[in-house]
Structure 1
Amino acid sequence: MPTADSVLVLTGTFDPTADLVIEELNRRGTPVFRADTAWFPSRLALAASLDGAAGWGGTLTTARRRLDLSAVRAVYYRRPTAPVFPEAMSVEARNVAAAEARRGFGGLLSALSCRWLPPPGRAADAEYKPLQLRAAVEAGLRVPRTLITNDPESAREFASHIGTPVVYKPFTPIRGTLGGRSVAVYASVLAADDIGDPSISTTAHLFQEWVPKAHEVRLTAVGRQLFAAEIHADSDAARVDWRSDYDSLSYRVCEPPSAVANGIHRLLDQLALPYGAFDFVVSPSGDWTFLEVNPNGQYGFIEQATGLPITAAICDYLEGTDRA
């Protein structure tokens, strides 16, 4: 049986974050096989068999390359897209093919006996904000008072009870086009008239107390290593949500307090994640408040701005040479 030495990178066609990792693995001489699940079944062929205790073996094959599945040491699961089926197939046939691909192709990949960063099932669970907020509390991290509701009156009562400004946040990134223009929904501080808006009844909404901030922190955890950077905003919009105005931001390397670092490790252990991109608010008095963790979040802009060796840590993890 061949030595497990290849890293399988599953991601979309355009992914600068995955590019950073692939370039570093190439520099180290580690074999890399990059694929997108959208290539299956027309551009990516799978053939795998199970033979007793040897486990699953077989190949993934494209027009140019072939991967021996028994030689995979780790999978970097970034942002692959859904399989694409022939347009000539009926809607019903495509639905069946998609379900079979998910359980067959996806199930085979998940059965590989190797490291995953991150494990897709665990990552999918952790993307639920109610789950990660509960887990953060249990891990000992400070969390803003939060309400999830579709009841306008409950939103009014929440705002009245906490006695501070209220922030609305979408559960998932909302981006698209409207009238030919790119639009996005960011966190926003609500005016008093907005808190009981009837449109709240149309779906679930997340409201949190506003936490006074000196700055924010993006902390990237890879295994047991933590890489933290302060984010200082220089515009009104970015002071509410720094993602709304990257041009106004500046960065500074920092160290999390030991209690916060310990809470992060407990949270990752509870969620069974080897990676997380954490967002914290740091108050003027120095208290760190957890906002969220993205189990597959971007880190390249932080590394570029600060020089923190996050790509190297990810590659160490994938190669199995990371620090315990």
Structure 2
Amino acid sequence: MLAGRFDPTADLAVEELNRRAVPVFRVDVAQFPVSLALAASLTGNGWRGTLRTDRRSVRLEAVRSVYFRRPKRPQMPRGMSPEARKVAEREARLGFGGLLAALPCPWLSPPGKAADAEHKPLQLRVAVDSGLNVPRTVITNDPNAARDFADSVDGRLVFKPFYPVRGRLEGRNAAVYTSLVEPADLPHPDIATTAHLFQEWIPKAHEVRMTVVGKRVFAAEIHADSDRARIDWRSDYASHVYRVCAPPPEVVAGVHRVLERLGLPYGAFDFAVTPDGEWVFLEVNPSGQYGFIEMATGLPITAAIADYLEGTT
């Protein structure tokens, strides 16, 4: 398992695999090369060797599957010059990362495919190609183009960052969530500073988080009870009420097509469900958290992940 050292989602999978007496070697890529040693040789049967920390080791040829859950980047030894660090980081990525990618076993999810799927323009196009309903969308750094788009949809817009934006601001935790944009606020000169993604606002009866593991689908409605959570439910988890639901068959078929075309065995899909019952695709997260859904609903997502890693599904 390749995961951050403090990752509750990865912890769930480890606990389930331990319960099943399945051996697990968990490591964070950030431990390489300071506290993670690698030694591997190419033989007629492929790569053989070991990964070793000061406490445990694993034989590469014994690895049956890999759970890839947002590990950190390799951390180089202190005291290296910027030039040497840049070279060492690249060598670690291509050498250590490349060796792991060469292991002939299933990944949940393959790092390269997961990285590609993080690109919202790609996943939106694939969702359209897969038959899912997608909001009208524009990507631009032209303030006037944003205004023209607002005129074309004849209503409110939402702005979304392409990647989660979190950090510290004036000593407090801060994050950028999906936000409403009034047409009267456009054009705005800040749009010219970088690429911006705008979509038409979708009226919602509720939202759905659909977690897909292989062929298994787990869907839960998210009913938000605050103004900010109705725009982006991630902004206020305390306001949620969750209900298990059964997605329409055509939506299920569409999400499977999305994952097949992206080359992923796992995806956490977000849908808006309109008051008329239309399901509208918002995004898919190739490494999305699921623990909060499982805890609230009892949906056996961890068991499905363990089944996939064991090769029993």
Same fold (TM over 0.5): yes
Q: Does structure 1 retain, via aligned residues, the 8 Å contact 2:14–2:24?
A: yes
Q: What stretches of structure 1 of length at least 5 have no aligned partner?
A: 1-8
* Structure 1 Cα separation of the partners of residues 77 and 109 of structure 2: 30
User: RMSD over aligned Cα, in angstroms?
Assistant: 0.6
Alignment partners' CA distance in 1, 2:113 and 2:161: 21
Determine the structure 1 residue equivalent to 2:309: 318
- Aligned residue runs from structure 1 range 1-324, under 5 A: 9-52=1-44, 54-322=45-313
* Aligned length, in residue pairs: 313
Measure the CA separation in 1 of the matches of 2:12 and 2:195: 36
CA offset at residue 214 of structure 1? 0.2
**2:228 partner SS:** helix
Q: Is the 8 A contact 2:155 2:183 kept in 1?
A: no
Deviation at 1:181, TM superposition (A): 1.0
Kindly provide the amino acid, as one letter, of the partner of residue 22 in structure 2.
Answer: T
Q: Secondary structure at the match of 1:230?
A: strand
CA drift at 1:250? 0.5
Q: Name the CA distance, whole Å, in 2 between partners of 1:214 and 1:193.
A: 26
Aligned equivalents of 2:46 and 2:246: distance in 1?
A: 43
**CA displacement 1:282-322 (0-9 Å, x = unmatched):** 01111100000000000000000000000000000000001
Following TM superposition, by how much is the alpha carbon of 1:185 offset from its aligned partner in structure 2, in angstroms?
Answer: 0.5
Could you say what secondary structure the match of 1:298 adopts?
Answer: coil
Equivalent pair of 2:151/2:183 in contact (CA under 8 Å): no
Q: Is the deviation greater in 246-255 or in 188-197? A: 188-197
CA distance in 2 between counterparts of 1:96 and 1:186 reads 35
In the alignment, residue 35 of structure 1 is paired with which amino acid? V
Q: Secondary structure at the residue paired with 1:47? A: strand
Report the secondary structure of 2:26's partner residue.
strand
2-structure distance, mates of 1:267, 1:89: 43
* Residue in 2 that maps onto 1:6: none
How far apart, CA to CA, are the structure 2 residues paired with 1:88 and 1:285? 61
Letter in 2 for 1:257: P
Tell me the equivalent position of 1:5.
Answer: none
| Secondary structure of the structure 1 residue equivalent to 2:197 | strand
Partner of 1:4 in structure 2?
A: none
| Offset of residue 86 of structure 1 | 1.6
Q: What stretches of structure 1 move > 6 A for 4+ residues in a row?
A: none
State the 1:268 CA deviation.
0.6
> Helix, strand or coil: the match of 1:35?
coil
CA distance in 2, matches of 1:305, 1:201: 42
Partner amino acid for 2:75?
Answer: V
Partner Cα distance (1:170, 1:84) in 2: 27
What CA deviation, in whole Å up to 9, does each residue of 1:1-45 have, x standing for no partner? xxxxxxxx1011100000000000000000000001111111000
What are the Cα deviations for residues 52-94 of structure 1, in whole angstroms up to 9, with x where unaligned? 2x01111001111110110100000001111111221111101
Q: Distance in 2 between matches of 1:219 and 1:230?
A: 9
Q: TM-score, normalised by structure 1?
A: 0.96
Alignment partner of 2:71: what SS? coil
Any idea what SS the aligned residue of 2:25 has?
strand
Range with bigger deviation, 187-196 or 16-25: 187-196
